[in-house]
Structure 1
């Protein structure tokens, strides 16, 4: 079930498997094109730098299995690099600048529009991409007419399953991300190196230290490069997160396929 890049996501619904003629003949009225966006960045001493993109691919694999074969949902190859400014300087981090990522996203969107598509979904698994994707979604809407939606991995998390055993702060390389990687690539995880480091952040709702509203970089808040307790991770928890999150992703994509922007006006 969790074999990487095997399944309907990478076959039945994989847009680049189609020929020019087949793409031209697609019914694009409700078609949704999914552009996955992750990151290559440090995740502490125990996780691969490919963590965010690996998690992205894994949720896609699970989510697309839940789609009907004839669902008008099409997958583009994942964009493995994101805006990882907060991790620059740590070995293994490869970041795009904001201007570069913005240009890439706009070029992809324009290409899709020229092919006749009308709806684009950014499926994002890196927190450092969120603000930029929100901004670009509106710019793309204005410039190309595409309907753009950012679907962040956290939006499809089942609240009944996503129960942190260390609830104070688990945002990078902690229990959740480590569990997810254990579920799909156990041999990529060095659990003997797993840290437990919870940043001592103020809890003021006005300053919002938990969000990017406060411009911290990772070295400001963590020595190990993580924020969370990776020692609590286990593969079974990761598998459950993937299964439930995949079902929610499929439901969201089907809703977006039937969504009509014109329905927002009274």
Structure 2
């Protein structure tokens, strides 16, 4: 029988596979609980609607290969739904409302705190979740006392030369980057005969507005006919493997640092 939670990360660091007594007994002073958050939304005609959740899971799985056993990093079950309202109306998109996601995040955080943990990382695979996660991180901090961190897969460093500058600026949905990663991790989920390319004419019409900063409100129907932003034709599994390796090591360094971060030490005495 094929089973979902295979690999060392899900065997050694998946908190829900422990019993209540085992969770209670865990050392928690320098433990970090990680909540992967993704989305179910259209990604053009070549990628699965589960892409962002797969990315959150896969990058974390890769990162855990580089985290020594002595670091107490624990993964929660991934949240497969997020805020995907920018893709509403396109087949396969299933979006939570803002109040629903706020409530779910707070409830999960309360459970983490009641289990005795002190640190929670919101590990996000979908750009549309970012603004709310940053807001909720502070709300969770205020209501639970947890130290709360946010990390976005899309904000990780991409090694120079792996993708073009145009793709870096405009290829934010179903382009080279995401397609390469899914090709490397779930090749059977990619429809390679349907790879396409589409870029919005943003640079032609604004010197200032960009997707990454100096943002503006948009839906996919505003900026794309095909449902993608970027060039999936330049993607490859080999490129995806390089991205996983580089970004996995980067995330591993961050995870290890967060296990000992103490927010109470930031003020000058």
Shared fold per TM-score greater than 0.5: yes
Q: For residues 152-177 of structure 1, what are the alpha-carbon distances to aligned partners after superposition, in whole Å with 9 as ceiling and x for unaligned?
A: 11343343364326435110000111
- 1:69 to 1:39, Cα distance in 2 relative to 1, 3 A: same
For 2:125 and 2:151, locate their aligned partners in 1 and report how far apart those are by CA, in whole Å.
9
Q: Which residue of structure 2 aligns with residue 123 of structure 1?
A: 123
Q: For residues 40-82 of structure 1, what are the alpha-carbon distances to aligned partners after superposition, in whole Å with 9 as ceiling and x for unaligned?
A: 1000011110111111111111111111123111000100001
Q: Which residue of structure 1 aligns with residue 233 of structure 2?
A: 231
Q: Which residue of structure 1 aligns with residue 201 of structure 2?
A: 200
TM-score (norm 1): 0.94
User: SS of 2:243's equivalent?
Assistant: helix
CA RMSD of aligned residues (A): 1.8
The question of 1:60 aligning with 2:60 is answered yes
C-alpha deviation, 1:6, in angstroms: 2.4
C-alpha deviation, 1:4, in angstroms: 6.8
Q: Which residue of structure 2 aligns with residue 188 of structure 1?
A: 189
Q: Which residue of structure 2 aligns with residue 17 of structure 1?
A: 17
The question of 1:96 aligning with 2:96 is answered yes
Q: For residues 16-48 of structure 1, what are the alpha-carbon distances to aligned partners after superposition, in whole Å with 9 as ceiling and x for unaligned?
A: 111111111111111100000000100001111
Query: Which piece of structure 1 moves more, 200-209 or 137-146?
Result: 200-209
User: SS of 1:258's equivalent?
Assistant: coil
- 1:227 to 1:212, Cα distance in 2 relative to 1, 3 A: farther
C-alpha deviation, 1:263, in angstroms: 1.7
The question of 1:242 aligning with 2:240 is answered no
Map 1:23-102 to 2 at 5 A. Answer: 23-102=23-102
C-alpha deviation, 1:83, in angstroms: 0.3
- For structure 2, the 5+ residue unaligned runs are none
